[in-house]
Chain A
Protein backbone atom coordinates (compact mmCIF):
# COMPACT_ATOMS: atom_id res chain seq x y z
CA UNK A 1 0.00 0.00 0.00
CA UNK A 2 1.61 3.28 -1.01
CA UNK A 3 1.10 6.48 0.90
CA UNK A 4 -1.57 8.65 -0.67
CA UNK A 5 -0.67 12.30 -1.31
CA UNK A 6 -2.50 14.20 1.39
CA UNK A 7 -3.27 17.89 1.55
CA UNK A 8 -1.84 19.40 4.73
CA UNK A 9 -4.55 19.80 7.36
CA UNK A 10 -7.26 18.71 4.95
CA UNK A 11 -7.44 15.00 5.46
CA UNK A 12 -5.01 15.05 8.39
CA UNK A 13 -4.84 12.33 10.95
CA UNK A 14 -7.27 9.83 9.59
CA UNK A 15 -5.55 9.77 6.23
CA UNK A 16 -2.25 9.34 7.91
CA UNK A 17 -3.55 6.47 9.96
CA UNK A 18 -4.33 4.65 6.82
CA UNK A 19 -0.69 4.72 5.89
CA UNK A 20 0.88 1.53 7.07
CA UNK A 21 3.93 3.21 8.43
CA UNK A 22 1.94 5.48 10.69
CA UNK A 23 -0.20 2.52 11.73
CA UNK A 24 2.93 0.63 12.72
CA UNK A 25 4.11 3.58 14.78
CA UNK A 26 0.75 3.98 16.42
CA UNK A 27 0.64 0.30 17.33
CA UNK A 28 4.11 0.50 18.85
CA UNK A 29 3.16 3.66 20.71
CA UNK A 30 0.01 1.97 21.95
CA UNK A 31 1.98 -0.97 23.28
CA UNK A 32 4.41 1.29 25.08
CA UNK A 33 1.55 3.40 26.39
CA UNK A 34 -0.12 0.33 27.81
CA UNK A 35 3.11 -0.68 29.47
CA UNK A 36 3.58 2.80 30.87
CA UNK A 37 0.09 2.98 32.30
CA UNK A 38 0.02 -0.52 33.74
CA UNK A 39 3.54 -0.86 35.04
CA UNK A 40 5.44 2.42 35.09
CA UNK A 41 2.85 4.93 36.32
CA UNK A 42 2.01 3.05 39.54
CA UNK A 43 5.73 3.00 40.32
CA UNK A 44 6.03 6.71 39.60
CA UNK A 45 3.17 7.48 41.96
CA UNK A 46 4.39 5.26 44.74
CA UNK A 47 8.01 6.22 44.26
CA UNK A 48 8.96 2.54 44.52
CA UNK A 49 10.45 0.61 41.67
CA UNK A 50 10.51 -3.14 42.04
CA UNK A 51 14.00 -3.44 40.60
CA UNK A 52 15.56 -0.69 42.73
CA UNK A 53 16.34 -3.07 45.56
CA UNK A 54 17.08 -6.77 45.46
CA UNK A 55 14.09 -8.82 46.46
CA UNK A 56 14.31 -9.29 50.24
CA UNK A 57 14.75 -12.75 51.72
CA UNK A 58 11.76 -13.72 53.79
CA UNK A 59 13.36 -15.26 56.85
CA UNK A 60 16.82 -13.79 56.66
CA UNK A 61 16.92 -13.41 60.44
CA UNK A 62 16.66 -17.14 60.90
CA UNK A 63 19.34 -17.77 58.33
CA UNK A 64 21.62 -15.25 60.05
CA UNK A 65 20.95 -16.86 63.41
CA UNK A 66 23.10 -19.79 62.35
CA UNK A 67 26.06 -17.70 63.42
CA UNK A 68 24.76 -17.51 66.95
CA UNK A 69 22.85 -20.70 67.60
CA UNK A 70 24.00 -24.19 66.89
CA UNK A 71 22.00 -26.26 64.44
CA UNK A 72 19.87 -28.89 66.15
CA UNK A 73 20.87 -32.34 65.01
CA UNK A 74 18.82 -34.75 67.14
CA UNK A 75 20.52 -37.94 66.10
CA UNK A 76 24.00 -36.60 66.72
CA UNK A 77 25.81 -35.69 69.86
CA UNK A 78 26.83 -32.05 69.81
CA UNK A 79 30.10 -31.54 71.62
CA UNK A 80 30.36 -28.20 73.32
CA UNK A 81 33.54 -26.26 72.88
CA UNK A 82 35.30 -24.26 75.53
CA UNK A 83 36.20 -20.75 74.56
CA UNK A 84 39.44 -19.94 76.34
CA UNK A 85 40.34 -16.59 77.83
CA UNK A 86 43.36 -16.35 75.60
CA UNK A 87 41.05 -16.40 72.60
CA UNK A 88 41.66 -20.00 71.67
CA UNK A 89 39.12 -22.75 71.86
CA UNK A 90 39.22 -26.42 72.58
CA UNK A 91 36.74 -29.16 72.25
CA UNK A 92 35.76 -30.30 75.71
CA UNK A 93 36.32 -33.98 74.94
CA UNK A 94 39.96 -33.46 73.99
CA UNK A 95 40.67 -31.65 77.21
CA UNK A 96 39.25 -34.60 79.11
CA UNK A 97 41.46 -37.23 77.50
CA UNK A 98 43.82 -38.75 80.00
CA UNK A 99 47.27 -37.30 80.02
CA UNK A 100 50.14 -39.19 78.49
CA UNK A 101 53.73 -39.06 79.56
CA UNK A 102 54.43 -36.41 76.96
CA UNK A 103 51.55 -34.19 78.00
CA UNK A 104 51.29 -33.48 81.72
CA UNK A 105 47.76 -33.24 83.08
CA UNK A 106 46.33 -29.84 82.44
CA UNK A 107 44.96 -28.11 85.43
CA UNK A 108 41.80 -26.15 84.79
CA UNK A 109 42.38 -24.11 81.64
CA UNK A 110 41.24 -20.53 81.81
CA UNK A 111 37.87 -21.20 80.27
CA UNK A 112 35.79 -18.16 79.48
CA UNK A 113 32.65 -19.93 78.40
CA UNK A 114 31.35 -23.19 77.09
CA UNK A 115 29.26 -23.00 74.00
CA UNK A 116 27.76 -25.40 71.50
CA UNK A 117 29.29 -23.62 68.53
CA UNK A 118 31.74 -20.92 67.59
CA UNK A 119 32.58 -18.74 64.61
CA UNK A 120 35.68 -19.38 62.52
CA UNK A 121 37.15 -17.18 59.79
CA UNK A 122 37.75 -18.97 56.51
CA UNK A 123 38.78 -17.00 53.45
CA UNK A 124 37.30 -13.70 54.58
CA UNK A 125 34.01 -15.24 55.65
CA UNK A 126 32.95 -16.22 59.14
CA UNK A 127 31.64 -19.75 59.34
CA UNK A 128 29.66 -21.29 62.20
CA UNK A 129 31.45 -24.35 63.53
CA UNK A 130 30.01 -27.21 65.59
CA UNK A 131 31.52 -30.49 66.65
CA UNK A 132 29.70 -33.78 66.78
CA UNK A 133 30.83 -36.97 68.45
CA UNK A 134 32.19 -39.43 65.92
CA UNK A 135 30.26 -42.73 65.94
CA UNK A 136 33.54 -44.59 65.88
CA UNK A 137 35.30 -44.58 69.20
CA UNK A 138 38.71 -42.98 69.46
CA UNK A 139 38.15 -40.75 66.50
CA UNK A 140 38.28 -36.97 66.76
CA UNK A 141 34.94 -35.22 66.54
CA UNK A 142 33.22 -34.49 63.25
CA UNK A 143 33.30 -30.84 62.22
CA UNK A 144 30.16 -29.22 60.81
CA UNK A 145 30.82 -25.86 59.16
CA UNK A 146 27.94 -23.64 58.08
CA UNK A 147 28.14 -20.35 56.24
CA UNK A 148 24.75 -18.61 56.13
CA UNK A 149 23.78 -16.01 53.56
CA UNK A 150 23.87 -12.86 55.65
CA UNK A 151 22.36 -10.49 53.10
CA UNK A 152 20.91 -10.36 49.62
CA UNK A 153 24.23 -9.09 48.35
CA UNK A 154 26.08 -12.25 49.42
CA UNK A 155 26.29 -14.79 46.63
CA UNK A 156 27.97 -18.19 46.77
CA UNK A 157 31.15 -18.09 44.76
CA UNK A 158 34.43 -19.71 45.75
CA UNK A 159 33.78 -21.15 49.20
CA UNK A 160 35.33 -24.52 48.34
CA UNK A 161 38.52 -22.85 47.11
CA UNK A 162 38.67 -20.82 50.34
CA UNK A 163 38.21 -23.95 52.42
CA UNK A 164 40.93 -25.77 50.53
CA UNK A 165 43.25 -22.81 51.01
CA UNK A 166 42.59 -22.52 54.73
CA UNK A 167 42.71 -26.23 55.51
CA UNK A 168 45.71 -26.73 53.28
CA UNK A 169 44.73 -30.22 52.24
CA UNK A 170 44.90 -32.27 49.05
CA UNK A 171 41.54 -33.19 47.60
CA UNK A 172 41.54 -36.77 46.37
CA UNK A 173 38.94 -38.95 44.71
CA UNK A 174 36.56 -36.03 44.25
CA UNK A 175 33.12 -37.37 43.37
CA UNK A 176 29.44 -36.54 43.60
CA UNK A 177 27.34 -37.62 46.50
CA UNK A 178 23.63 -37.52 45.72
CA UNK A 179 21.07 -37.87 48.44
CA UNK A 180 17.57 -36.73 49.31
CA UNK A 181 16.54 -35.13 52.55
CA UNK A 182 12.95 -35.49 53.65
CA UNK A 183 11.12 -33.13 55.97
CA UNK A 184 7.45 -33.89 56.38
CA UNK A 185 6.20 -34.29 52.85
CA UNK A 186 8.97 -32.23 51.30
CA UNK A 187 11.77 -33.93 49.46
CA UNK A 188 14.97 -32.10 48.68
CA UNK A 189 17.49 -33.63 46.29
CA UNK A 190 21.09 -32.65 46.94
CA UNK A 191 24.20 -33.21 44.84
CA UNK A 192 27.23 -32.65 47.04
CA UNK A 193 30.99 -32.82 46.53
CA UNK A 194 32.46 -35.78 48.32
CA UNK A 195 36.18 -36.39 48.59
CA UNK A 196 39.02 -37.58 50.70
CA UNK A 197 41.10 -34.79 52.18
CA UNK A 198 44.71 -35.65 52.92
CA UNK A 199 46.47 -33.41 55.41
CA UNK A 200 47.99 -34.11 58.81
CA UNK A 201 44.88 -36.20 59.33
CA UNK A 202 42.65 -37.79 56.72
CA UNK A 203 39.05 -36.70 56.39
CA UNK A 204 36.03 -37.57 54.34
CA UNK A 205 34.58 -34.22 53.32
CA UNK A 206 31.11 -33.39 52.02
CA UNK A 207 30.41 -29.92 50.63
CA UNK A 208 27.30 -28.33 49.20
CA UNK A 209 25.22 -25.16 49.12
CA UNK A 210 21.88 -25.84 50.80
CA UNK A 211 18.65 -24.04 49.96
CA UNK A 212 15.03 -24.67 50.99
CA UNK A 213 14.22 -27.09 48.20
CA UNK A 214 17.51 -28.86 47.67
CA UNK A 215 21.23 -28.36 47.38
CA UNK A 216 24.22 -28.58 45.09
CA UNK A 217 27.95 -28.09 45.20
CA UNK A 218 27.69 -25.73 42.24
CA UNK A 219 26.88 -22.07 42.98
CA UNK A 220 25.30 -21.77 39.55
CA UNK A 221 22.71 -24.41 40.43
CA UNK A 222 21.66 -22.20 43.33
CA UNK A 223 21.74 -19.12 41.09
CA UNK A 224 19.23 -20.46 38.55
CA UNK A 225 16.90 -21.70 41.29
CA UNK A 226 17.02 -18.29 42.94
CA UNK A 227 16.38 -16.50 39.64
CA UNK A 228 13.40 -18.74 38.95
CA UNK A 229 12.07 -18.10 42.47
CA UNK A 230 12.42 -14.35 41.96
CA UNK A 231 10.05 -14.56 39.02
CA UNK A 232 7.49 -15.70 41.58
CA UNK A 233 8.69 -12.91 43.90
CA UNK A 234 10.39 -15.28 46.31
CA UNK A 235 13.99 -16.01 47.13
CA UNK A 236 15.99 -19.14 47.80
CA UNK A 237 18.40 -18.32 50.66
CA UNK A 238 21.54 -20.41 50.75
CA UNK A 239 23.74 -21.88 53.44
CA UNK A 240 27.13 -23.30 52.51
CA UNK A 241 27.76 -26.57 54.36
CA UNK A 242 30.87 -28.57 54.78
CA UNK A 243 31.27 -31.67 56.87
CA UNK A 244 34.73 -32.77 57.95
CA UNK A 245 34.58 -36.41 59.02
CA UNK A 246 37.84 -37.83 60.35
CA UNK A 247 38.69 -41.22 58.91
CA UNK A 248 41.51 -43.68 59.12
CA UNK A 249 44.19 -43.02 56.54
CA UNK A 250 44.07 -46.57 55.28
CA UNK A 251 40.28 -46.70 54.87
CA UNK A 252 38.57 -46.44 51.53
CA UNK A 253 36.44 -43.37 50.87
CA UNK A 254 33.52 -45.63 49.93
CA UNK A 255 33.47 -47.04 53.45
CA UNK A 256 32.75 -43.57 54.80
CA UNK A 257 29.88 -43.00 52.41
CA UNK A 258 27.02 -44.32 54.58
CA UNK A 259 28.11 -42.16 57.50
CA UNK A 260 28.66 -39.13 55.30
CA UNK A 261 25.31 -39.52 53.59
CA UNK A 262 23.45 -40.02 56.85
CA UNK A 263 24.97 -36.92 58.42
CA UNK A 264 24.48 -34.85 55.28
CA UNK A 265 20.81 -35.82 55.11
CA UNK A 266 20.33 -34.84 58.72
CA UNK A 267 22.05 -31.49 58.25
CA UNK A 268 20.00 -30.65 55.17
CA UNK A 269 16.79 -31.72 56.91
CA UNK A 270 17.65 -29.68 59.99
CA UNK A 271 18.31 -26.64 57.82
CA UNK A 272 15.03 -27.10 56.02
CA UNK A 273 13.05 -27.62 59.19
CA UNK A 274 14.58 -24.95 61.41
CA UNK A 275 16.27 -22.34 59.28
CA UNK A 276 14.54 -22.23 55.96
CA UNK A 277 11.04 -22.55 57.34
CA UNK A 278 9.65 -19.35 58.79
CA UNK A 279 9.20 -19.67 62.52
CA UNK A 280 5.53 -19.99 63.25
Chain B
Protein backbone atom coordinates (compact mmCIF):
# COMPACT_ATOMS: atom_id res chain seq x y z
CA UNK B 1 0.00 0.00 0.00
CA UNK B 2 2.94 2.31 0.53
CA UNK B 3 5.06 1.28 -2.43
CA UNK B 4 3.71 3.95 -4.72
CA UNK B 5 4.77 6.79 -2.43
CA UNK B 6 8.20 8.28 -2.39
CA UNK B 7 10.12 7.30 0.69
CA UNK B 8 10.36 10.74 2.40
CA UNK B 9 6.65 11.19 1.86
CA UNK B 10 6.04 7.76 3.36
CA UNK B 11 7.76 8.77 6.56
CA UNK B 12 5.81 12.01 6.78
CA UNK B 13 2.50 10.34 6.12
CA UNK B 14 3.01 7.30 8.27
CA UNK B 15 5.24 8.91 10.89
CA UNK B 16 2.58 9.52 13.51
CA UNK B 17 1.06 6.05 12.93
CA UNK B 18 4.40 4.33 13.29
CA UNK B 19 5.19 6.37 16.36
CA UNK B 20 1.93 5.34 18.01
CA UNK B 21 2.44 1.69 17.13
CA UNK B 22 6.02 1.81 18.34
CA UNK B 23 5.03 3.36 21.66
CA UNK B 24 2.25 0.79 22.10
CA UNK B 25 4.79 -1.94 21.49
CA UNK B 26 7.15 -0.44 24.06
CA UNK B 27 4.40 -0.08 26.61
CA UNK B 28 2.72 -3.44 26.21
CA UNK B 29 5.16 -6.03 24.94
CA UNK B 30 6.51 -6.83 28.43
CA UNK B 31 2.94 -7.21 29.63
CA UNK B 32 1.88 -9.43 26.72
CA UNK B 33 5.02 -11.51 27.14
CA UNK B 34 4.12 -11.94 30.82
CA UNK B 35 0.61 -13.07 29.91
CA UNK B 36 1.79 -15.55 27.31
CA UNK B 37 4.43 -16.92 29.67
CA UNK B 38 1.74 -17.34 32.31
CA UNK B 39 -0.56 -19.20 29.93
CA UNK B 40 2.10 -21.51 28.56
CA UNK B 41 3.71 -22.30 31.91
CA UNK B 42 0.65 -21.92 34.16
CA UNK B 43 2.87 -19.77 36.35
CA UNK B 44 0.63 -16.88 37.35
CA UNK B 45 -2.65 -17.99 38.88
CA UNK B 46 -5.73 -20.08 38.25
CA UNK B 47 -7.70 -16.97 37.35
CA UNK B 48 -5.10 -16.18 34.69
CA UNK B 49 -5.64 -19.61 33.13
CA UNK B 50 -9.24 -18.75 32.46
CA UNK B 51 -8.09 -16.51 29.62
CA UNK B 52 -5.69 -18.82 27.85
CA UNK B 53 -8.03 -18.83 24.84
CA UNK B 54 -6.40 -15.49 24.05
CA UNK B 55 -3.44 -17.45 22.73
CA UNK B 56 -5.50 -18.13 19.62
CA UNK B 57 -7.79 -15.14 19.99
CA UNK B 58 -5.19 -12.36 19.90
CA UNK B 59 -3.46 -13.50 16.70
CA UNK B 60 -6.90 -13.96 15.13
CA UNK B 61 -7.91 -10.46 16.22
CA UNK B 62 -4.69 -9.00 14.85
CA UNK B 63 -5.29 -10.81 11.57
CA UNK B 64 -8.84 -9.46 11.29
CA UNK B 65 -7.76 -5.92 12.18
CA UNK B 66 -4.99 -6.09 9.59
CA UNK B 67 -7.36 -7.41 6.93
CA UNK B 68 -9.52 -4.33 7.51
CA UNK B 69 -6.72 -1.89 6.84
CA UNK B 70 -7.93 -0.73 3.43
CA UNK B 71 -11.39 0.00 4.77
CA UNK B 72 -9.74 1.66 7.77
CA UNK B 73 -7.74 4.00 5.57
CA UNK B 74 -10.79 4.89 3.54
CA UNK B 75 -12.65 5.97 6.65
CA UNK B 76 -12.47 9.74 7.22
CA UNK B 77 -10.32 10.82 10.13
CA UNK B 78 -12.49 11.94 12.99
CA UNK B 79 -11.63 12.23 16.64
CA UNK B 80 -14.46 11.17 18.92
CA UNK B 81 -14.20 12.68 22.42
CA UNK B 82 -14.93 9.29 24.01
CA UNK B 83 -11.64 8.20 22.51
CA UNK B 84 -9.85 10.84 24.56
CA UNK B 85 -11.69 9.69 27.68
CA UNK B 86 -10.67 6.07 27.10
CA UNK B 87 -7.09 7.03 26.34
CA UNK B 88 -6.79 9.08 29.51
CA UNK B 89 -8.45 6.31 31.52
CA UNK B 90 -6.05 3.79 30.06
CA UNK B 91 -3.06 5.97 30.96
CA UNK B 92 -4.37 6.32 34.51
CA UNK B 93 -4.84 2.56 34.85
CA UNK B 94 -1.40 1.81 33.44
CA UNK B 95 0.10 4.28 35.86
CA UNK B 96 -1.27 2.50 38.92
CA UNK B 97 1.14 -0.36 38.34
CA UNK B 98 -1.43 -2.77 39.72
CA UNK B 99 -1.72 -5.98 37.71
CA UNK B 100 -5.51 -6.01 37.30
CA UNK B 101 -5.70 -2.41 36.20
CA UNK B 102 -2.68 -2.50 33.90
CA UNK B 103 -4.25 -5.51 32.18
CA UNK B 104 -7.47 -3.59 31.67
CA UNK B 105 -5.61 -0.65 30.20
CA UNK B 106 -4.71 -2.75 27.16
CA UNK B 107 -8.17 -3.11 25.59
CA UNK B 108 -8.95 0.44 26.70
CA UNK B 109 -5.96 1.96 24.92
CA UNK B 110 -6.82 0.09 21.73
CA UNK B 111 -10.47 1.11 21.83
CA UNK B 112 -9.49 4.66 22.72
CA UNK B 113 -7.11 4.92 19.78
CA UNK B 114 -9.71 3.54 17.39
CA UNK B 115 -12.27 6.10 18.54
CA UNK B 116 -9.75 8.94 18.63
CA UNK B 117 -8.52 8.29 15.10
CA UNK B 118 -11.58 7.18 13.18
CA UNK B 119 -14.51 7.79 15.49
CA UNK B 120 -17.56 5.61 15.79
CA UNK B 121 -17.33 4.16 12.25
CA UNK B 122 -13.81 3.03 13.11
CA UNK B 123 -15.06 1.40 16.28
CA UNK B 124 -17.75 -0.39 14.33
CA UNK B 125 -15.20 -1.63 11.81
CA UNK B 126 -12.85 -3.00 14.44
CA UNK B 127 -15.49 -4.04 16.97
CA UNK B 128 -14.89 -7.76 16.66
CA UNK B 129 -11.10 -7.71 17.10
CA UNK B 130 -11.57 -5.37 20.06
CA UNK B 131 -14.15 -7.74 21.55
CA UNK B 132 -11.73 -10.66 21.19
CA UNK B 133 -9.04 -8.65 22.95
CA UNK B 134 -11.41 -7.59 25.73
CA UNK B 135 -12.59 -11.15 26.38
CA UNK B 136 -9.01 -12.39 26.40
CA UNK B 137 -7.67 -9.82 28.85
CA UNK B 138 -6.92 -11.51 32.21
CA UNK B 139 -8.96 -10.22 35.13
CA UNK B 140 -10.40 -11.44 38.41
CA UNK B 141 -13.95 -12.11 37.26
CA UNK B 142 -13.49 -15.90 37.60
CA UNK B 143 -12.59 -15.43 41.28
CA UNK B 144 -15.53 -13.10 41.84
CA UNK B 145 -17.81 -15.79 40.39
CA UNK B 146 -16.64 -18.60 42.71
CA UNK B 147 -19.26 -18.03 45.45
CA UNK B 148 -21.96 -18.40 42.80
CA UNK B 149 -20.75 -21.59 41.23
CA UNK B 150 -21.75 -23.69 44.22
CA UNK B 151 -25.09 -24.80 42.74
CA UNK B 152 -23.32 -25.86 39.55
CA UNK B 153 -20.73 -27.81 41.52
CA UNK B 154 -23.47 -29.55 43.49
CA UNK B 155 -25.31 -30.36 40.27
CA UNK B 156 -22.18 -31.84 38.75
CA UNK B 157 -21.44 -33.86 41.88
CA UNK B 158 -25.00 -35.14 41.97
CA UNK B 159 -25.07 -36.13 38.31
CA UNK B 160 -21.65 -37.77 38.44
CA UNK B 161 -22.70 -39.68 41.53
CA UNK B 162 -25.91 -40.79 39.85
CA UNK B 163 -24.09 -42.08 36.77
CA UNK B 164 -21.55 -43.97 38.87
CA UNK B 165 -24.36 -45.47 40.89
CA UNK B 166 -25.91 -46.81 37.69
CA UNK B 167 -22.54 -48.36 36.86
CA UNK B 168 -22.72 -50.33 40.07
CA UNK B 169 -20.22 -48.46 42.24
CA UNK B 170 -20.96 -47.71 45.86
CA UNK B 171 -21.39 -43.98 45.77
CA UNK B 172 -22.55 -41.38 48.25
CA UNK B 173 -22.93 -37.71 47.41
CA UNK B 174 -22.92 -34.97 50.06
CA UNK B 175 -23.12 -31.48 48.60
CA UNK B 176 -19.97 -31.16 46.51
CA UNK B 177 -18.30 -34.26 47.95
CA UNK B 178 -18.51 -37.66 46.28
CA UNK B 179 -17.51 -40.74 48.28
CA UNK B 180 -16.61 -43.70 46.08
CA UNK B 181 -15.34 -46.87 47.72
CA UNK B 182 -14.44 -44.72 50.73
CA UNK B 183 -12.28 -42.42 48.66
CA UNK B 184 -13.27 -38.80 48.58
CA UNK B 185 -13.50 -36.51 45.59
CA UNK B 186 -14.38 -32.86 45.97
CA UNK B 187 -15.91 -31.00 43.04
CA UNK B 188 -14.05 -27.75 43.62
CA UNK B 189 -15.08 -24.42 42.09
CA UNK B 190 -12.45 -24.80 39.41
CA UNK B 191 -13.91 -28.18 38.48
CA UNK B 192 -17.24 -26.56 37.70
CA UNK B 193 -16.15 -26.16 34.12
CA UNK B 194 -16.34 -22.38 33.92
CA UNK B 195 -13.02 -22.18 32.15
CA UNK B 196 -14.12 -24.59 29.44
CA UNK B 197 -17.45 -22.78 29.20
CA UNK B 198 -15.77 -19.40 28.64
CA UNK B 199 -13.36 -20.94 26.16
CA UNK B 200 -16.27 -22.58 24.33
CA UNK B 201 -18.10 -19.27 24.03
CA UNK B 202 -14.95 -17.50 22.89
CA UNK B 203 -14.17 -20.14 20.27
CA UNK B 204 -17.83 -20.06 19.17
CA UNK B 205 -17.56 -16.32 18.62
CA UNK B 206 -14.44 -16.82 16.55
CA UNK B 207 -16.12 -19.56 14.51
CA UNK B 208 -19.22 -17.44 13.92
CA UNK B 209 -17.09 -14.61 12.62
CA UNK B 210 -14.85 -16.81 10.52
CA UNK B 211 -17.73 -18.54 8.77
CA UNK B 212 -19.62 -15.24 8.52
CA UNK B 213 -22.63 -16.85 10.14
CA UNK B 214 -22.86 -14.23 12.86
CA UNK B 215 -25.34 -12.32 10.80
CA UNK B 216 -27.97 -14.96 11.43
CA UNK B 217 -29.34 -14.44 14.92
CA UNK B 218 -30.73 -17.96 14.90
CA UNK B 219 -27.29 -19.42 14.23
CA UNK B 220 -25.64 -17.26 16.87
CA UNK B 221 -28.12 -18.22 19.58
CA UNK B 222 -28.16 -21.88 18.56
CA UNK B 223 -24.40 -22.14 18.51
CA UNK B 224 -23.87 -20.42 21.84
CA UNK B 225 -26.62 -22.47 23.45
CA UNK B 226 -25.30 -25.65 21.87
CA UNK B 227 -21.76 -24.86 22.95
CA UNK B 228 -23.02 -24.34 26.50
CA UNK B 229 -24.75 -27.71 26.51
CA UNK B 230 -21.72 -29.44 25.03
CA UNK B 231 -19.37 -27.79 27.49
CA UNK B 232 -21.42 -28.52 30.60
CA UNK B 233 -22.10 -32.11 29.53
CA UNK B 234 -18.46 -32.70 28.69
CA UNK B 235 -17.50 -31.34 32.08
CA UNK B 236 -19.94 -33.62 33.89
CA UNK B 237 -18.57 -36.59 31.98
CA UNK B 238 -15.03 -35.53 32.80
CA UNK B 239 -15.82 -35.19 36.51
CA UNK B 240 -17.55 -38.58 36.42
CA UNK B 241 -14.49 -40.15 34.81
CA UNK B 242 -12.18 -38.48 37.32
CA UNK B 243 -14.29 -39.72 40.22
CA UNK B 244 -14.36 -43.19 38.71
CA UNK B 245 -10.58 -43.22 38.30
CA UNK B 246 -9.97 -41.99 41.80
CA UNK B 247 -12.56 -44.25 43.40
CA UNK B 248 -11.25 -47.38 41.71
CA UNK B 249 -7.65 -46.53 42.46
CA UNK B 250 -6.60 -45.74 38.90
CA UNK B 251 -4.46 -42.85 40.07
CA UNK B 252 -2.37 -42.76 36.91
CA UNK B 253 -5.44 -42.25 34.76
CA UNK B 254 -6.72 -39.66 37.19
CA UNK B 255 -3.49 -37.74 36.98
CA UNK B 256 -3.53 -37.93 33.18
CA UNK B 257 -7.03 -36.52 32.81
CA UNK B 258 -6.77 -34.02 35.63
CA UNK B 259 -3.34 -32.48 35.31
CA UNK B 260 -1.65 -33.77 32.22
CA UNK B 261 -2.26 -33.78 28.49
CA UNK B 262 -5.37 -35.92 28.87
CA UNK B 263 -7.26 -32.86 29.98
CA UNK B 264 -6.01 -30.81 27.05
CA UNK B 265 -6.93 -33.57 24.62
CA UNK B 266 -10.39 -33.78 26.17
CA UNK B 267 -10.87 -30.03 25.77
CA UNK B 268 -9.66 -30.14 22.16
CA UNK B 269 -12.17 -32.89 21.33
CA UNK B 270 -14.92 -30.86 22.97
CA UNK B 271 -14.05 -27.80 20.91
CA UNK B 272 -14.02 -30.02 17.83
CA UNK B 273 -17.59 -31.01 18.63
CA UNK B 274 -18.54 -27.33 18.65
CA UNK B 275 -17.03 -26.92 15.19
CA UNK B 276 -19.11 -29.87 14.01
CA UNK B 277 -22.18 -28.31 15.61
CA UNK B 278 -21.67 -25.12 13.65
CA UNK B 279 -21.30 -27.04 10.43
CA UNK B 280 -24.54 -28.85 11.19
CA UNK B 281 -26.33 -25.58 11.98
CA UNK B 282 -24.93 -23.92 8.94
CA UNK B 283 -25.80 -26.64 6.48
CA UNK B 284 -28.13 -24.99 3.95
CA UNK B 285 -31.56 -26.60 4.09
CA UNK B 286 -32.34 -28.30 0.77
CA UNK B 287 -35.86 -29.69 1.13
CA UNK B 288 -36.30 -30.21 -2.59
CA UNK B 289 -33.28 -32.46 -2.81
CA UNK B 290 -33.57 -34.54 0.38
CA UNK B 291 -35.80 -37.53 -0.14
CA UNK B 292 -38.88 -37.54 2.09
CA UNK B 293 -38.83 -40.96 3.73
CA UNK B 294 -42.51 -40.97 4.55
CA UNK B 295 -43.60 -40.77 0.93
CA UNK B 296 -41.57 -43.80 -0.13
CA UNK B 297 -41.32 -46.32 2.71
CA UNK B 298 -44.10 -48.28 4.30
CA UNK B 299 -45.92 -46.50 7.10
CA UNK B 300 -44.40 -47.10 10.54
CA UNK B 301 -46.48 -47.74 13.64
Partners in one complex: yes
The reply to whether the CB of B165 lies closer than 8 angstroms to some CB of chain A is: no
The reply to whether the CB of B39 lies closer than 8 angstroms to some CB of chain A is: no
Min CB gap B68→A, angstroms = 18
- Chain B residues, CB < 8 A from A24: 77, 79, 116-117
The reply to whether the CB of A87 lies closer than 8 angstroms to some CB of chain B is: no
Question: Smallest CB-CB separation from A23: which chain B residue?
Answer: B79
Min CB gap A82→B, angstroms = 28
- Picked from A22, A26, A35, A227, the residue with its CB within 8 Å of the CB of B91 is A35
**Chain A interface helix/strand/loop/mixed:** helix
Known: A52-B34, A230-B98. A32 touches B24 (CB 8 A): yes
- Chain B residues, CB < 8 A from A8: 6, 8-9, 12
**Chain B 89-128 per-residue mask, 1 if CB under 8 angstroms from chain A, else 0:** 0010011111110110000010001001100000000000
Interface contacts (Cβ under 8 Å), in number, total 113
Question: Smallest CB-CB separation from B97: which chain A residue?
Answer: A50
- Picked from A33, A162, A219, the residue with its CB within 8 Å of the CB of B147 is A219
User: Which residues A38-72 have CB closer than 8 A to chain B?
Assistant: 38-40, 43-44, 49-52, 54-55
Question: Smallest CB-CB separation from B88: which chain A residue?
Answer: A31
- The interface on chain B, measured as residues whose beta carbon lies within 8 A of the other chain's beta carbons, has a size of 47
Q: Give complex CA distance A21, B45 in Å.
A: 42
- The interface on chain A, measured as residues whose beta carbon lies within 8 A of the other chain's beta carbons, has a size of 48
Known: A32-B24, A39-B94. A161 touches B150 (CB 8 A): yes
Q: List 30 contacting pairs A-B, 8 Å CB cutoff, sorted by A.
A: A21-B77, A21-B79, A21-B117, A22-B16, A24-B79, A26-B16, A28-B113, A28-B116, A29-B20, A31-B88, A31-B91, A32-B20, A32-B23, A35-B27, A39-B95, A40-B27, A44-B30, A51-B98, A51-B103, A123-B186, A153-B45, A161-B150, A161-B176, A165-B174, A165-B175, A165-B177, A168-B174, A219-B146, A220-B144, A230-B98
Where the two chains meet, the residues of B that have a C-beta atom closer than 8 Å to any C-beta of A are 6, 8-9, 12, 16-17, 19-20, 23-24, 26-27, 30-31, 34, 45, 77, 79, 87-88, 91, 94-100, 102-103, 109, 113, 116-117, 140, 143-144, 146-147, 150, 174-177, 186, 188-189
Where the two chains meet, the residues of A that have a C-beta atom closer than 8 Å to any C-beta of B are 8-9, 12-13, 16, 20-22, 24-26, 28-29, 31-36, 38-40, 43-44, 49-52, 54-55, 123-124, 153, 155, 157-158, 161-162, 164-165, 168, 218-220, 223, 227, 230-231
